[in-house]
Structure 1
């Protein structure tokens, strides 16, 4: 059995409204279906992105040096390393 739907009401610009209408028509979907699909895709995309500050804190925990002091001094280096490893 499908989850019951919850009604939402929000404002959007005329341009976004036209985009939504055109997209729904081109996909043969309702505007509500397009919005639900977009929200799910957005959530999936953003849940996969790692927070570099949390990653940096995890890395600091693995070192035997004083984590708080080391992190405060070397945070730029850790962020750069995390960014370089993602590329």
Structure 2
């Protein structure tokens, strides 16, 4: 599968611009790659903040659970699956 790029244009402060330039120089990357990596890192951190109860409810829904009672009975199984998926 081809990983296509989409051109974007953003404004940033002079301080942010300097940070990006310094990071790019330090890592030997393009400034664009620094920004892409920062976006991916930010997205990952935000995903990890997600409420595990919401993820558990999503898992229950994925298995076509017909009642909230199942969630109250099998919550440990759903939490274990969420934990295992996050590890790996």
Q: Quickly name the TM-score band, shorter chain normalised.
A: 0.5 to 0.7
Displacement of 1:51 after TM fit? 3.4
Q: What do the CA deviations read for 1:53-78 (whole angstroms, capped 9, x no partner)?
A: 958xxxxx84xxxxxxxxxxxxxxxx
Please name the residue that 2:18 is paired with.
18
Please name the residue that 2:85 is paired with.
none
Which one has a bigger Cα radius of gyration? Answer: 1
Equivalent pairs, count: 59
- Give TM-score scaled by structure 1 length: 0.57
* Structure 2 unaligned residues grouped into runs of 5+: 56-70, 73-88
1:35-74 map, 5 Å = 35-51=35-51, 54=54, 62=72
- Give TM-score scaled by structure 2 length: 0.56
Work out the CA distance in 1 between the residues paired with 2:2 and 2:34. Answer: 18
